[in-house]
Structure 1
């Protein structure tokens, strides 16, 4: 039976002591609220579903996000840490004052719909994938809070709302003549590393971070392979090199202006701390494609192009995923876009041989 007493400040405190359960107490503005809460908690104890909610009621989402960024995010890749910091800032600004216990599926669904109706700094509607990443962060935070922080939460509310559709993904392929123009312009740039990086992306399908982060010890020109340990999905893989990729890496390794203070294949100037980091080519890349009238071309599209060419070349899905690092066939298909005109030729060959 609950004990309900009036406090000196005029509020009402309910205390529940039941054998086999931890003592639970809570203070309310009215006696009726205290009685209602007591009946509900006692009923949950009888049914064996009671969860101690005090910790989740005291911790706000803003506090939880700060703890997550301090304890969980540092275990992830730097790029992921940066992305999560941005998502956390938005979540804290809009939902930070709610306690973890107060965040219901209805509140989160309203947040989702509100974000999807907002516009980015460019004036376009906010990307559905941006909202998906924010909800993914929030969902993982709840899972960590329940399993590791032992917060009194009955379930993860993010699991009970619909996630925005990821869309069809980009299908930008290089049109006829674009690769030639792109490589010619890059070759004319003062820094030869730009053209080497672009060529490697087209020949290997490696991500830009994987290319610029390459160190000499990862490259085996004799066996024509590159060993990647630090990848987006945290799975090491070995990438086979075409003859052109091998020749490109040979040029990069023999770069006559290579400084002796770094093992990076594609190196930048020393920072304020005196350390060299990978060559930051994004600004030059954006200027280059603007001059060529290819503003809609993303560097990551070169990875799409490379993967699509591997499939067109006759490699199996398993062989392509081993090279590209895609963990699932579904994700690989999102990155693979075959030209219909190329399939026409294959259809003719199939009909001829059948």
Structure 2
């Protein structure tokens, strides 16, 4: 049966400790701020024991989501072809306050709050990818690591945001000049990152994962002269090689060589945050870093490349997928009609 007692808690405040002793089951103990919370928990545990369906929550009650993410990255992510991209998503989830909570207490309510926080920083499609990864983390924990989740897979209790496939935001007027001016004031690598994204149509995660040895050309300092970049890990899982414009080469020429071999010393989350700050300083609204990929892809069409050529650079799988990225302005097509 359950027994309750008070004890000093953090900061000297009183907390309630409940213990459950029942023959044939391990002794259970847990501490709560309120006696009513302790009584509800004890009633649930005793009911499960009486019905013979009790499963120990010890591991779930002593493992944080952050620790679970670390284990998943070590044991599962490393076996995947898109490991670099997934590690980036796991890193962003791990930086959210939800990662500090014990997995036994993570419910749909906590993950809905996480969803709302992330939507202030990332697109709906990015959030849905994070939720998909998080759902698989909980599935692996339950099915392969045999960690009892009191609430089941809590991601299934969270509604998914609708992905707006009609987004067609492009740079307008002097926005590029304003962006670059604000980026120069902001400092760091955000200026080169903006130009690079527009010149290459690369995704944010692909840019963050770039390495100097991905450039096709002579090794050492001469690799700056290479005109082709290998992207070994992509969102679609298919590696691709893209040509580099003279403007893209100028960006590389202005970057220092890092000891870790990476071209840019940033992660995906820091790119988004820096870009948001630069847009705010430049007085630009409704523009995300991913919109630069829309801009870059549309510019490729405006230069006269055909869909197959554009797809080879951008990595889009089908022409249907490319339609939402072209958004060619009628004024720019007049000269091509004669």
Shift of 1:336: 1.8
Q: How far does the alpha carbon of each residue in 1:127-164 deviate from its partner, in whole angstroms, 9 at most, with x for none?
A: 86787566435411222123321346799645754632
Shift of 1:166: 3.3
Alignment map for 1:321-336 (pairs within 5 Å)? 321-326=311-316, 332=321, 336=325
Could you say which residue in structure 1 is the equivalent of 2:72? Answer: 72
Could you say which residue in structure 2 is the equivalent of 1:297? Answer: 287
Could you say which residue in structure 2 is the equivalent of 1:236? Answer: 239
Q: How far does the alpha carbon of each residue in 1:154-185 deviate from its partner, in whole angstroms, 9 at most, with x for none?
A: 996457546322331653211134346656x4
Could you say which residue in structure 2 is the equivalent of 1:13? Answer: 23
Q: Which consecutive unaligned segments of at least 5 residues does structure 2 have?
A: 1-18, 29-41, 218-224
Q: Distance in 1 between matches of 2:59 and 2:295?
A: 47
Give the paired residue count.
286
Q: How far does the alpha carbon of each residue in 1:240-295 deviate from its partner, in whole angstroms, 9 at most, with x for none?
A: 23xxx2x224434555x956967555679xxxxxxxx9xx8888866754554325
Is 2:176 the partner of 1:174? no
In structure 2, relative to structure 1, the CA distance for the partners of 1:11 and 1:334 (3 Å cut) is farther
Could you say which residue in structure 1 is the equivalent of 2:63? Answer: 63
Q: Distance in 1 between matches of 2:48 and 2:276?
A: 63
Question: Are the counterparts in 1 of residues 131 and 155 from structure 2 also a CA contact under 8 Å?
Answer: no
Q: How far does the alpha carbon of each residue in 1:56-113 deviate from its partner, in whole angstroms, 9 at most, with x for none?
A: x3332661624422311354545323212134x31654x7444xxxx8xxx53x5566
CA RMSD of aligned residues (A): 5.5
Shift of 1:35: 8.8
Q: Distance in 2 between matches of 1:155 and 1:180?
A: 51
Question: Are the counterparts in 1 of residues 230 and 242 from structure 2 also a CA contact under 8 Å?
Answer: yes
In structure 2, relative to structure 1, the CA distance for the partners of 1:59 and 1:213 (3 Å cut) is closer
Could you say which residue in structure 2 is the equivalent of 1:85? Answer: 94
Q: Distance in 1 between matches of 2:114 and 2:187?
A: 41
Larger Rg: 1
In structure 2, relative to structure 1, the CA distance for the partners of 1:85 and 1:172 (3 Å cut) is same
Q: Indicate the SS of the match to 1:63.
A: coil
Could you say which residue in structure 2 is the equivalent of 1:338? Answer: 327
Could you say which residue in structure 2 is the equivalent of 1:220? Answer: 216
In structure 2, relative to structure 1, the CA distance for the partners of 1:153 and 1:113 (3 Å cut) is closer
Q: Indicate the SS of the match to 2:199.
A: helix
Q: Which consecutive unaligned segments of at least 5 residues does structure 1 have?
A: 1-8, 15-24, 42-52, 269-276
TM-score, reference length from structure 1: 0.55
Relative contact order (C-alpha < 8 Å, sep 6+): which is higher? 2
Question: Are the counterparts in 1 of residues 169 and 287 from structure 2 also a CA contact under 8 Å?
Answer: yes
Could you say which residue in structure 2 is the equivalent of 1:37? Answer: 51
Decide which of 184, 203, 207 is 2:203's aligned counterpart.
Answer: 207
